[in-house]
Amino acid sequence: MSSLQPTTQGLAVDPGALNALKFSAGQEGESGKAALKGAAKQFESLFMRELIKSMRDATQKSGLLEGQGSDLGTDLLDQQLSVQLSGLPGGLSEAIERQLSRQMAPKGAAEGSTPAGSATSTGTGADTPAEFKPLNRSGLRALLKYAPNAVPVQGSASAEPAKALQRSNASASGPRHVGFVSQHSEAAAQVARESGIPASYMLGQAGHETGWGRSEIRQKDGTPSHNLFGIKATSSWKGKVAEVTTTEYVNGVPRKTVAKFRAYDSYADSFRDYARLITKSPRYDKAMDQIGSVQGFASSLQRAGYATDPQYAAKLSRAINMTLSVQRAQS
């Protein structure tokens, strides 16, 4: 049997375990050593999370089962995987633990007073960079504030896993939609001033259409099309085109089809083209009349045939309201 077995059977989202780890960080003796090991696992878990995320981002999406629900499930799975893969023998956590041990060592030990006969004894402090200041236990507890996931003690699990998962929903999806809104806020604000369409409406619709940037339409060579609104390339379109598989609803039944979409040189061009479509096309006049209501605007777009999804108005309203929440928090 392989020796690379998961180091914990607990949940990634276990606030109780993290609180226990913070408490242990203030203790001496074996409790303090255990806290040091746990902190090292936390930081390895952060690294693993970023590694898994970069692998997900580099993978072409099929679009078959894409959506906010599946994205949340993937996020929760990746959180759990990052914890399960942390703390294995020979892993990064061992190196982090050694580094933290040196920084937290008493003054004499930090200056090279490693016990004689120790396999790691060098007789000098050369392996501790001069710019590193030794960490005390308060410093370790401060470091743990930056660990978003708890590394549970072996065999422990949250007494209320369902509630723990529910509490984690916001943080699981938060960084993505918050980052998406921040990334495109300037372009949306500029187009909002020119067109009269609220920036929050455009950002919310762009987020919904692209899964907050995760399912953006790409060209055959993998480069971004910069198409944030799923606008198709009809016969009147003279610009670049991206041809991808998409989901269309026929009589309420989802079907996969290959369609051509517009491609732009920049995201700003995508916002401008969307605003031009909504403000200049007579079919969307009623949507502009409902610009003061999120639900009214979304419902008018659906009735005008912007999308074939029968639940489009409800989904778009949720995305716009998420954007409004982000904007209020950032203001």
Cβ atoms of residues 96 and 42 within 8 Å: no
Q: Which of 127, 248, 265, 289 is catalytic?
A: 248
SS (H, E, C) 144-204: HHHCCCCCCCCCCCCCCHHHHHHHHHHHHHHHHHHHHHHHHHHHHHHHHHHHCCCHHHHHH
Cα separation, 152 vs 159, whole angstroms = 12
* Catalytic residue status for 94: no
94: exposed, middle or buried (Cβ count in 10 Å: 0-12, 13-18, 19+):
middle
Cβ atoms of residues 281 and 291 within 8 Å: no
Cα separation, 88 vs 97, whole angstroms = 13
CA distances from 323 to 112, 176, 327 (A): 54, 12, 6
Cα separation, 102 vs 130, whole angstroms = 12
Cα separation, 264 vs 228, whole angstroms = 10
SS (H, E, C) 205-235: HHHHHHCCCCCCCECCCCCECCCCCCCECCC
| Contact partners, residue 40, CB within 8 Å, separation at least 6 | 87, 93, 94, 96, 97, 100
Cα separation, 262 vs 276, whole angstroms = 14
Q: Report residue 313 as tokens.
A: 């108005």
* Catalytic residue status for 273: yes
Q: Which residues pair with 240 in a beta bridge?
A: 263
What residues are labeled active site? 248, 273
